[in-house]
């Protein structure tokens, strides 16, 4: 197994208290996101006189300690399993995940009675940057046989080796863990006196963030209507790292759980059709702009989300349906930025900046 720092019982308890304080009371404040330059300069934007009424606001989950936005579901799942006695025999966890979730599980697992964490990956492998993040979190990479999805093989592997399966794709805590972030976003918006509602956006992966927004934001935000929208990559060829293309959403249906519910019933969770019109090159260019000009170090999915929100705005202008986005006298987007750019070193992503 990958080397992990052993914690004493006192250190585990101290870490639990610190993490609980961070997630319950010290999540990062919302940030203002400038309107991208190509949008600001576009004729449709000027002719519609949108410059004074459009606001883009981000929740920078990448600023939650060493974690990502997936720390909230990971925390909820590990707490539930500890309460259920699943950690009593000091298990090894098997997580069918290649990214943020398993990395955050790795960091959190040190404060529980857990012997180790294995990330079950697809046979094609993952970029070195993501592997490095996993290893730093004490996570052991493992690979499914060629032609078998890691999300499927994790079940077989865990059963054969007597390990504990932790599958974020089917656990309701993946949604309910985000209650803390949605409560935080709602309270921050009211603290900003952002009354009249807002349009909440996320990138579809497990779809838990979007489903949590639909479930919890109306519960805590009491100053107007919250409308949900989501962004995916255009297709497999144009897939932005960290996101799903429409074809990949079919995998959620085969996995089952809440992702399949989202896939089959998108209109129950989204007020607008899933946005799949962003080109990879446009997302990468905006990523560079956000990082280098505005000091907003989002990953490629963050740029995909900002561009998707702008395309939703453009579509409303073209269809003369701006009222569908209005929040009182403003058009307000609140975007969930899951992670930063650091673990992403896919070949096409890196090549774009050279």
Give 19-59 pLDDT, tens digit per residue.
999 999 999 999 999 999 999 999 999 999 999 999 999 99
Q: How far apart are CA 308 and CA 301, in angstroms?
A: 10
CATH code of the domain in which 99 resides: 3.40.50.1100
pLDDT at 14: 98
* Whether residues 97 and 116 fall in one domain: yes
Whether residues 110 and 186 fall in one domain = no
| Nearest C-alpha neighbor of 102 from the set 30, 60, 150 | 150
Q: Do 309 and 230 reside in the same domain of the chain?
A: yes
The model's pTM is 0.95
| Domain shared by 142 and 281, yes or no | no
Whether 78 contacts 354, CB under 8 Å: no
pLDDT digits (tens, 9 = 90+) for 218-259: 999 999 999 999 999 999 899 998 888 887 777 777 777 888
Query: For the chain, what is the mean pLDDT?
Result: 93
Digit-coded pLDDT (tens) for 304-319: 999 999 999 999 999 9
* pLDDT category of residue 261 using cuts at 50, 70 and 90: confident
Q: Are residues 42 and 161 in the same domain?
A: no
Q: Of the candidates 126, 122, 125, which has an alpha carbon nearest to the alpha carbon of residue 153?
A: 122
Distance CA 122, CA 196 (A): 45
Q: Are residues 163 and 178 in the same domain?
A: no
- The closest of 304, 325, 329 to 313, measured between CA atoms, is 325
Q: Which two tokens stand for residue 87?
A: 């950690």
Q: Do the Cβ atoms of 185 and 214 come closer than 8 Å?
A: no
45 and 105 in a single domain? The answer is: no
CA distance readout (Å), 354 to 16, 282, 342, 345, 346 = 42, 16, 16, 12, 13
Both 237 and 323 in one domain: the answer is yes
Domain of residue 234 covers 23-67+174-352
Domain count, the chain: 2
Question: For residue 179, what pLDDT is reported?
Answer: 98
Q: Return the closest-CA partner of residue 230 out of 301, 159, 280, 164.
A: 301
Amino acid 275: pLDDT: 96
Residue 7 lies in a domain: no
> Of 167, 186, 216, which residue constitutes the final position of a domain?
167
**Averaged over 71-75, what is the pLDDT?**
97
Of 167, 192, 217, the position where a domain reaches its end is 167
- Select the more confidently predicted residue: 343 or 53: 53
- Residues with Cβ within 8 Å of residue 162, at least 6 apart in sequence: none
Confidence of residue 289 (pLDDT cuts 50, 70, 90): very high
Of 167, 183, 212, which marks where a domain is finished? 167
- 2 belongs to a structural domain: no
Per-residue model confidence (pLDDT) at position 122: 87
Residue 13 lies in a domain: no
3-state secondary structure of 60: strand
């Amino acid at each position: 197994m990958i080397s992990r720092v052993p914690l004493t019982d006192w250190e585990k308890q101290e870490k639990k208290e610190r993490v609980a304080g961070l997630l319950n009371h010290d999540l990062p404040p919302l940030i203002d996101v400038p309107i991208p330059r190509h949008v600001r300069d576009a004729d449709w934007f000027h002719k519609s006189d949108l410059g004074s009424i459009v606001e883009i606001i981000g929740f920078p989950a990448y600023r939650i300690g060493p974690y990502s936005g997936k720390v909230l579901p990971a925390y909820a799942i590990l707490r539930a399993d500890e309460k259920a006695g699943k950690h009593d025999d000091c298990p090894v966890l098997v997580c069918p995940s290649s990214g943020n979730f398993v990395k955050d599980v790795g960091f959190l697992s040190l404060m529980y009675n857990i012997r180790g964490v294995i990330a079950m990956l697809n046979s094609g492998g993952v970029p070195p940057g993501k592997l490095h993040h996993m290893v730093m979190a004490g996570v052991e990479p493992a690979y499914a046989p060629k032609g078998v999805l890691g999300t499927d093989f994790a079940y077989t592997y865990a059963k054969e080796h007597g390990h504990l399966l932790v599958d974020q794709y089917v656990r309701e805590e993946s949604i309910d863990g985000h209650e803390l972030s949605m409560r935080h976003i709602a309270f921050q918006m009211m603290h900003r006196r952002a009354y009249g509602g807002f349009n909440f956006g996320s990138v579809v992966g497990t779809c838990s963030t979007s489903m949590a927004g639909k479930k919890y934001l109306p519960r805590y935000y009491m100053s107007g209507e919250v409308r949900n929208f989501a962004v995916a990559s255009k297709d497999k060829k144009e897939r932005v790292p960290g996101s799903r293309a429409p074809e990949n959403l079919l995998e959620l249906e085969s996995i089952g759980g809440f992702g399949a519910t989202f896939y089959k019933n998108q209109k129950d969770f989204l007020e607008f059709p899933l946005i799949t019109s962003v080109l990879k090159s446009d997302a990468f260019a905006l990523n560079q702009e956000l990082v280098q000009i505005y000091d907003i170090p989002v990953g490629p999915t963050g740029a995909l989300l900002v561009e998707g929100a702008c395309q939703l705005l453009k579509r409303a202008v073209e269809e003369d349906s701006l009222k569908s986005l209005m929040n009182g006298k403003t058009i307000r987007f609140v975007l969930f930025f899951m992670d930063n750019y650091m673990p992403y070193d896919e070949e096409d992503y890196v090549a774009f900046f050279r």
